[in-house]
């Protein structure tokens, strides 16, 4: 499955949850707040936004017909994220879609009642957005491409690919959250890498 197709499915199905919670579709206009973490000038932004709208349309939600989208581009600026999160929550949307841990953290502080759907969050459980991936809690749910336990699997795959590997270094953005979610399975050792 191509990355773009995957993103379409994830976003479309994720947004169906809070909208479906409002019962059957009616002629009433619904409002979705969208807080994008990247700048509007990002060359990938138009295709991501088009995928989002296309998947919603496939589910029967058409912008201008029964759906309005309030869109904000934060360019990953912490002050913009705070400003736009407050703006979107003040609009009282039926649901809010966003991505990245900083944006979801701010949105979670702003509302405990409006459904928030996330993508691209590195460690939703460690960030306190849910008790487990299978059982989100409160008003936050979503999808992640990272499972902290995967660090151990990386080591197994590395050993298969390069059986003589004795030392490994991990390069990652230097944030405590990234280190805390990915590194524990990698730090476990002081035991030898599995051999075949």
Q: Is residue 93 part of a domain?
A: yes
User: Is position 195 within any domain?
Assistant: no
Residues 107 and 159 both lie in one domain: no
Q: The tokens 């306190």 sit on which residue?
A: 128
Are both 27 and 100 inside the same structural domain?
Answer: yes
Range of the domain at 48: 3-142
95 strand-pairing partners:
32
Pair 132, 171 in one domain:
no
Q: How far is CA 70 from the centre of its chain?
A: 18
Residue 180 lies in a domain: yes
pLDDT in tens, 115-170: 999 988 878 888 888 887 777 778 999 887 766 667 777 778 888 898 888 887 77
How many C-beta neighbours within 10 Å does residue 127 have?
Answer: 20
- Residue 2: per-residue pLDDT: 53
DSSP string, 121-164: -S-TTTTTSBS-SSSB-TTEEE--S--TTHHHHHHHHHHHH-TT
Vertex 73: Cα angle to 68 and 78 (nearest 5): 130
C-alpha pair distances (Å), 137 with each of 133, 134, 170: 10, 10, 32
Residues 16 and 106 in one domain: yes
Q: Nearest to residue 104, comparing CAs of 85, 125, 126?
A: 85
Whole-angstrom distance, CA of residue 132 vs CA of residue 113: 19
Is residue 28 in a domain? yes
What pLDDT is attached to residue 192? 55
Say if residue 123 is in the same domain as residue 168: no
Q: Provide the pLDDT for residue 122.
A: 78
**What integer pLDDT is reported at residue 190 of this predicted model?**
46
Mark the ranges of the chain whose per-residue pLDDT is less than 70: 1-27, 146-149, 172-196
pLDDT of 37 reads 86
Report the predicted TM-score, pTM, of the whole model to 2 decimal places. Answer: 0.69
């Amino acid at each position: 499955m191509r990355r773009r197709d995957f993103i379409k499915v994830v976003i479309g199905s994720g947004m169906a949850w809070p909208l479906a919670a409002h019962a059957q579709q009616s002629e009433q206009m619904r409002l979705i707040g969208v807080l994008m973490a990247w700048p509007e000038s990002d060359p990938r932004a138009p295709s991501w936004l088009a995928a989002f709208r296309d998947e919603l349309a496939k589910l029967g939600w058409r912008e201008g017909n029964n759906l309005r989208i309030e869109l904000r581009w934060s360019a990953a600026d912490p002050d913009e994220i705070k400003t736009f999160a407050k703006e979107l929550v003040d609009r009282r949307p039926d649901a809010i879609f966003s991505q990245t841990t900083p944006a979801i953290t701010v949105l979670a502080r702003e509302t405990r009642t409006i459904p928030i759907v996330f993508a691209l969050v590195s460690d939703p459980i460690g960030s306190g957005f849910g008790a487990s991936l299978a059982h989100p809690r409160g008003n936050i749910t979503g999808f992640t491409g990272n499972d902290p336990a995967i660090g151990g699997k990386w080591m197994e795959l590395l050993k298969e690919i390069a059986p003589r590997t004795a030392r490994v270094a991990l390069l990652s953005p230097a944030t405590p959250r990234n280190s805390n979610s990915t590194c524990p399975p990698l730090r476990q050792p002081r035991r030898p890498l599995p051999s075949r």
